[in-house]
Amino acid sequence: MKQIIQDLKTGSVTLVELPIPNVGSGKILIKVKKSLISLGTEKMMLEFGKGGWISKAKQQPDKVKMVLDKVKTDGLLPTIDTVMNKLSTPIPLGYSNVGEVIAVGKGVVKFKVGDRVISNGNHAEVVVPENLCALVPDSVSDEDAAFTVVSAIALQGVRLANPTLGETVVVLGLGLIGLITVQLLKANGCNVIGFDFDSKKVALANEYGAKAFETIDPVEVEKIIQSLIGEVGVDSVIITASTKSNDPIDLAPKICRHRGKVILVGVVGLEINRTEFFKKEITFQVSCSYGPGRYDNNYEQNGMDYPVGFVRWTENRNFCAVLDLLSNSQLNFSKLISRTDSFLNAPNIYAELSDLKNILGFILDYPNTIDTNIKNISLNPKRISSSKTCIGVIGAGGFTSGTLLPAIIKSSTRIKTISSSKGLSSHNLAEKFKIENNTSDYNTILSDEEIDTVIISTPHNSHGSLVLESLRSGKNVFVEKPLSLKLDEIEKIKEFYQNSDKASLPNLMVGFNRRFSPLSCELKLQLKKNAGTKAIIYTVNSGHIPSEHWIQDREVGGQRLIGEGCHFIDYIRFLVGHEIDTYTIVFADVSSRDTFIINLKFKDGSIGTINYFSNGNKSYPKEKVEIFSNGSIYLIDNFKTLTTINAKGGKSVKRLSKQDKGHSEEINQFIKSINSGHETPIPLKEIFEVSQIAIELDSMA
């Protein structure tokens, strides 16, 4: 299938060929017929991409602060690598379309093959979750239906204003969403006054029943409002304009009545003058896209709905409300369609988009043919490699892009195929790293006899099952931590090794990379000369991760103990070199489970403490390891320096030019073990031991 993507570095837009996405549980595959270009949002994205570094920084000051914090803790070069990797990842465009369901995933109950639906999918034949789709009534045209998702943005703004019959509402900005807002307000029995500088948009607002005026000058607007309704002021102001100016937010409270409402739907300057809001007790609220459920992963991706008695209008119910209004002829979008063009002409359309004037709705028309059998696409010629290893990569996220693939490329190993469920992220990485094939079906990798090694870097809940499938397919496996979220999966992996022919066992490695840091290797050498028991303190200033992040989902990410804590358990296990005997944990907050202390006791008498804190400050180093043994002290600071104080008081410091947590060396050692026929660099016994302990610690609270 084809999809429209944008390069964030340059702003350029291309049409790429992707494999048909996998239709996962709770999702549907749509053959798109029409999609709507949202000129405001998509022009903003184009301008962001075309802007220089200073322009990008000015538009995202919060991101600049994050970058500066990362420079302080990780150093300049790793930070530059991270930023460049982020900007080199193309993004999909579009979020309002209509089409026909051609496949449904497990658990889908609202839709069947052949249904006509709207969705917030991209400009492409797409897979979307149930809650982001709605059935289109027979009486609603494809063209009108394509406006549904964008219209939900306008509808949510109206809902927040909560106007009653006969109230007067001002709409500032009569672009696409502004004109839809006018229609929704009129359908709600409101008197509507609109303002814009574009005469054609003003004329159209008047046709929809508003009293609209061709001005955005604050003084003129105030005079017009006063002449129409006197000194009282309007009941609400809905701002749908897009401007960097503060004028709309300054003007809105001045034309509101006492205890009126100002709702921001568009994007404007937000340097608010408190005085005007204070004097009239004006309510100000920013509208969040389509409504409740937006950006809630449980709602959008996992299909969990909100009870109607508590949340009457979710984003999906807003979609349905728009379609009902269209079906009852209370909305009409025919006059909002300024232009229709072929989806296949997308690069040319976007090249001229910034210069288009007087365009409201721009409809993309899709071809009727789509081959649903294409799961694998060849992109690049075969890479010549001296290594005997041939790799397939399952998972194409940020860690794969920024860490794993650069390490594999550095080792001069052939990567034949990369897989991702939707096909877009794997396409981007295949292009970037010159990987031969892109697939949306990881079974393509498992069934390929030429591929002998699989790299797994997917959400944590899939690790255990993918490891088992890969091993049973005869593949060597490198899986990013954790090995699994479930003890029974770890037991099945252990059984595989116990019950298989020892002469032909594939290698298994978990991404416990810190063992392979050059400072860790140096520290291990020093500790070998020190025969004493060890007391180790590993402090992790992990930083806050929002509760909606996938890693905080116990079913998907395993939360931070299993998902990340296993790293640090393994590291102390590596330094001590003996089996863990006993272990305990204390959580600061059992509900969030992201700040905790782990205590380990080893069979040689050594002890270790892991302080994993999410409530610190990012300006402080992320990781510090302190080892006390036999009169000597060793300190690793953020894997950039190793300080040693020996028993006689002598001090030495080893510094790296940049932080190195051992990712490249870990991959290098893993591939070497395969090429040489040696065992995996981390003994399987230790992998299983650490993985099981992390899960058991998680169950202690």
DSSP string, 55-68: HHHHH-HHHHHHHH
Mean pLDDT per 10-residue section of the chain, whose length is 701 residues: 84 88 91 88 66 56 61 63 66 91 92 95 86 95 96 97 96 95 96 96 96 95 94 95 92 95 93 91 94 89 90 95 95 91 90 78 86 80 81 95 93 94 92 94 95 97 97 97 96 93 87 97 93 95 87 89 95 97 93 92 97 90 95 96 93 94 96 91 97 95 71
**Residues of CATH 3.40.50.720 domain(s) within the chain?**
154-286, 383-506
* DSSP-derived secondary structure letter, 273: -
Q: Residue 296: what residue type?
A: D
How is domain 383-506 classified at the CATH fold level? Rossmann fold (3.40.50)
The Cα 160–Cα 171 span in angstroms is 14
At 504 the pLDDT is: 79
At 583 the pLDDT is: 97
At 251 the pLDDT is: 95
At 472 the pLDDT is: 96
How is domain 513-698 classified at the CATH fold level? Dihydrodipicolinate Reductase; domain 2 (3.30.360)
Q: What would be the CATH architecture of the domain defined by 154-286?
A: 3-Layer(aba) Sandwich (3.40)
The Cα 34–Cα 545 span in angstroms is 38
At 60 the pLDDT is: 60
pTM of the model: 0.84
CA 524 centroid distance within chain: 37
**Residues of CATH 3.30.360.10 domain(s) within the chain?**
513-698
E strand map for 160-243: 168-172, 191-196, 211-214, 234-239
Cβ–Cβ contacts within 10 Å for residue 384, how many?
A: 7
Q: At what angle do helices 684-698 and 487-499 cross, to 10 degrees?
A: 160
Nearest CA to 695 out of 563, 550, 562 is that of 562
CA atoms within 13 A on the CB side of 141: 9
At 75 the pLDDT is: 64
Structure tokens at 269: 């300057």
**Residues of CATH 3.90.180.10 domain(s) within the chain?**
2-147+333-365
> In sequence order, what are the residues at sequence separation of 6 or more whose Cβ sits closer than 8 angstroms to the Cβ of residue 142?
33, 34, 98, 116, 136
Nearest CA to 690 out of 595, 600, 559 is that of 600
Nearest CA to 545 out of 556, 553, 533 is that of 553
How is domain 2-147+333-365 classified at the CATH fold level? Quinone Oxidoreductase; Chain A, domain 1 (3.90.180)
At 47 the pLDDT is: 67
